[in-house]
A and B are shown apart, each in its own frame.
Chain A
């Protein structure tokens, strides 16, 4: 162990960074090498994380100071990493699932011209995400936070020749920036109050400063940080970017918009749990927003026909579930759902990618169906993940979702008093809807008869292997983690309340919501396919609302985008064209005229230059003799 701490921590983000550079440089001439370089870099980071987790003693944490970033006045900021149990879990998810997705991408992107760019971005994303989870202070976290935003922009707009795809990238970037502003404000206020951004020091300072007069500050800071989280983790009102983010290649959706980046907000809340615990009102707001987000996104997912859009809204909805747990103050459950969600949602997205790949870039589920026999592995893994997300015992989703509902129900946040009677049923209904729309997507894709015109085929092993691994994790991950995770995270997030083991019968009984959702879904979309049409006719306006994503985009267009465009036009005409261009052109004109004047001195005659030198020497001498001291 060195003076700066555990050097191995530095390697974790270093591998993807080097991989990114190498993938880009080498990939320019050897396109196929890029994918393997990136995969290797990511796998090496994973290996380092695993080794560290294995070697880490109980209740310990590692610290590594890479270098002193800057030092201003009395404030010194280190570029430092901290590796505790929470970070360990996040790192395992990021690098583990990230590696699988890299492997999958090698096959998925095999024919893309710009795949060296793709893999460079993908590794750069891993680097940023690892900075985010490893950062020992808020500013390093923020660097990662911005980095994932940037990579997300680059990857969503990866096929930038398609203008709407490029637009989706821009939208993601701008919406994320709005959240980032909130995050920055929160950070500024924390620094102003405590003169530090280091997590350990902040926790220390806050624990001794729980005096009532500081509580409003904590409330405001927590709220600001949550605004940042809504941007990154796609909660109301800043979730609009995530469904559009499906413009990127499917592995990107799996990695960024399901498994890792969107969980940054959840991670940040868990990391700053000491702050949120002191701001119960903010927690209540988080919980309320989360429940509504989950509900609205689930309702929207009901009517989407694009297979990736369904999954995107499902992600928003599941993130809502995570924030419910965080809002209830039971952070380990939020992290638990984060992990299980990463398993099954990555599997679902990669499965969707496999389907899209097999159907020759068809994304509309109305042109699919009956793929069960054509691509059995994809169908099986997709099916397992569907059961998992629906919350069927003993799959992973059951444990985490059940724990969330229990946490919400058992919450003792005074600010939520009276509201729980509304929120808990809403969350349960959302869980039912989740099972329903996922079954719908499974049925429309894999069951029935094929409605498209392509010749679907199973994907190669390099794509199915990650699917199988992820499906396996989705299958047993909950059972395994449900017992170990709360104790593992206890040093960071506090000890959870013990709850007894449940038998299989109880478990199956508790998964009645999911079973009901699946049952109704299967009924509607296989044997009684006229039911949905009838329902849509009956509740016509409501289904239109869902089909059009509750008009959030239109609402933003009217309330935010249009006025901004008007202001921008005015600014463009008056300020930009009039004042700024005027100033620029004026400057140019001044330079032009003075250049003309100065030009006349440039005669090209060496003698004239010598003369000017002589005059200058005389002037200097004059200054020396009469004005200065020698």
Chain B
């Protein structure tokens, strides 16, 4: 039986890697994938804690996170496509229309 703390630590590591990726990568699709990484890290700790407290609510939460992730994938990738269409690139540094 693996202690729940192990899972939580693993989740924290994975989340951190995701965060660092979001900050340092410039390819919008990779940024998007790093966000998936963070979501999965959270999912992992949800399931681990669900096991710890002994009810299924955590797993239900993971289910809904997946729903949101799927919706996000659809909309996010559509945005990336239209971004590519207007800027001929998926570099986030080229999408600087908000520059004040």
Contacts and interface: CB of A to CB of B under 8 A. Distances in A.
Within the complex, are A and B direct neighbours (CB within 8 Å)? yes
A513 to B, nearest CB: 83
Given A605-B92, A605-B93, A610 B22 contact: yes
B42 interface: no
A614 B19 contact: yes
Contacts of B1: none
A603 B23 contact: no
A617 B23 CA distance: 13
Interface string A582-620: 000000000000000001001111110011001001000
A602 B100 contact: yes
Interface string B86-100: 000000110111111
A610 B30 CA distance: 14
A604 B23 CA distance: 14
Nearest to B34: A610
A39 B20 CA distance: 75
A607 B99 contact: no
A607 B19 contact: no
Interface string B73-94: 0000000000000000000110
Contact of A604 (B24, B25, B100): B100
Contacts of B98: 602, 604
Interface in A403-450: none
A605 B23 CA distance: 11
B22 A604 contact: no
B99 A602 contact: yes
A606 B23 contact: no
Contacts of A599: 100
A602 B99 CA distance: 6
B95 to A, nearest CB: 6
Interface residues of B, number: 16
Contacts of A617: 19
A606 B96 CA distance: 7
Contacts of A614: 19, 22-23
A607 B93 contact: yes
B26 interface: yes
B23 A610 contact: yes
Interface of A is mostly: helix
Contacts of B92: 605-607
A611 B24 CA distance: 9
Contacts of B31: 606-607, 610
Interface residues of A, number: 11
Interface in B26-50: 26, 28, 31
A605 B96 contact: yes
Contacts of B96: 603-605
Contacts of B28: 606
Contacts of B97: 604
Contacts of B22: 607, 610, 614
Contacts of A605: 92-93, 96, 99
B35 to A, nearest CB: 10
Nearest to A600: B100
A264 B28 CA distance: 74
A607 B100 contact: no
A606 B100 CA distance: 13
Contacts of B19: 614, 617
A604 B25 CA distance: 16
A611 B31 CA distance: 12
Nearest to B20: A614
B33 to A, nearest CB: 14
Contacts of B95: 604, 606
A607 B97 CA distance: 13
A599 B99 CA distance: 8
Contacts of B25: 607
Nearest to B95: A606
Nearest to A601: B100
A595 to B, nearest CB: 9
Interface string A212-254: 0000000000000000000000000000000000000000000
A451 B11 CA distance: 104
B13 to A, nearest CB: 15
A567 B49 CA distance: 74
Contacts of A610: 22-23, 31
A534 B25 CA distance: 105
A599 B22 CA distance: 23
A219 B26 CA distance: 82
B18 to A, nearest CB: 11
Nearest to B28: A606
A603 B26 contact: no
B87 to A, nearest CB: 12
Contacts of A604: 95-100
Contacts of A611: 23
Nearest to A606: B92
Contacts of B23: 607, 610-611, 614
Interface of A: 599, 602-607, 610-611, 614, 617
13 contacts: A602-B100, A603-B96, A604-B95, A604-B97, A604-B98, A605-B93, A605-B96, A606-B92, A607-B31, A607-B92, A610-B31, A614-B19, A614-B23
Q: Give the 7 A-B CB pairs with smallest separation, nearest first.
A: A604-B99, A604-B96, A602-B100, A604-B98, A606-B92, A599-B100, A611-B23
Given A603-B99, A610-B22, A610-B31, 5 more contacts: A603-B96, A604-B99, A605-B99, A607-B22, A607-B31
